Amino acid sequence: MKISIITATFNSGATLRDTLESVLSQTHNDVEHIIKDGGSSDNTLEIAGSFRQRYADAGKSLVIVSEKDSGLYDAMNKGIAMATGDVIGILNSDDFYTSNDILSTVEREIEGFDAVYGDIHYVKDPDLDRCIRYYSSRAFRPWKMRMGYMPAHPSFYCRRRVYSLYGEFDTSFKVAADFEQLLRLIFINRIAIRYVSKDFVTMRVGGVSTSGLESHKRIFADHMRAYRKNNVHSCIFLEGIRYADRIIEKILRLLHVST
């Protein structure tokens, strides 16, 4: 089974090497890794190009395309359009796989399903071995999307034909296009999904969805618009439940650290 990995880059030289090394280390070799660059001016393309031979030696394919795009989700859509794999996943340029058996797990667990997803955890430079937050998708259920819950999107691997049927990212959503897409795929079209109890991806804090109060305000606004677009009933109160859960989670984590 060929698995296509999409990585959108823009001046990602500081972190891209970790991303590439983690794909290269995967025990599953039928991999197409597409680097969709937005016209970087740093050493991003030089770093990506230096991995070409190593990928080829490992039996993996590395595709590098650099051209202007309209942002992260547009770049992801262009990568998806280029993909030739049976299954597609997204790996951000400042993230990396938590272990070397992630893609072999995807190949095994997606049998009979349209998509699989798992867990992720967050780290912060320079100590990439220290988990500062663990995001488990275990408790996710499709009905919880009315409250803004979703599977950890960096752990989401979906058959390419699903994107052909139900569409890619709606680029009019600048922060939460991933939520709108999963709402469309999982809640509206009810694709067959499976949770895998495994930590898929290590994410550095500070990305599009992890960068402070203003980001969360934009996410909230995008969620409400996603409900309206897809004719899904929700409200501020239901969305508020998720934020209350986050506050409780932070308090419990602080109490744990203090003891």
Question: If DSSP states are collapsed to H, E and C, what string results for the chain?
Answer: CCEEEEEEECCCCCCHHHHHHHHHCCCCCCEEEEEEECCCCCCHHHHHHCCHHHHHHCCCEEEEEECCCCCHHHHHHHHHHHCCCCEEEECCCCEEECCCCHHHHHHHHCCCCCEEEEEEEEEECCECCCCCEEECCCCCCHHHHHHCCCCCHHHCEEEHHHHHHHCCCCCCCCCCHHHHHHHHHHHHCCCCEEEEEEEEEEEECCCCCCCCHHHHHHHHHHHHHHHHHCCCCCCHHHHHHHHHHHHHHHHHHHHHHHC
Residue 245 binned pLDDT confidence (cut-offs 50, 70, 90) = low
pLDDT of residue 66: 97
pLDDT tens-place string over residues 40-64:
999 999 999 999 999 999 999 999 9
Kindly state the percentage of the chain with pLDDT values over 70: 89
CA distances 177 to 72, 137, 159, 167, Å, are 10, 19, 18, 12
At residue 239, the pLDDT reads 78
Expressed as residue numbers, the domain containing 156 is 3-257
Q: What band does 249 get if pLDDT is binned at 50, 70 and 90?
A: low
Q: Which positions ≥6 away from 88 have C-beta within 8 Å?
A: 3, 4, 5, 6, 80, 157, 158, 159, 160, 163
User: What is the per-residue pLDDT for 252?
Assistant: 52
Q: How far apart are CA 8 and CA 178, in angstroms?
A: 14
Residue 38's domain is classified under what CATH number?
A: 3.90.550.10
pLDDT digits (tens, 9 = 90+) for 70-125: 999 999 999 999 999 999 999 999 999 999 999 999 999 999 999 999 999 999 99
Does residue 210 register a pLDDT over 50? no
Looking at the structure of the chain, the number of domains it has is: 1
Cα separation, 2 vs 195, in Å, equals 20
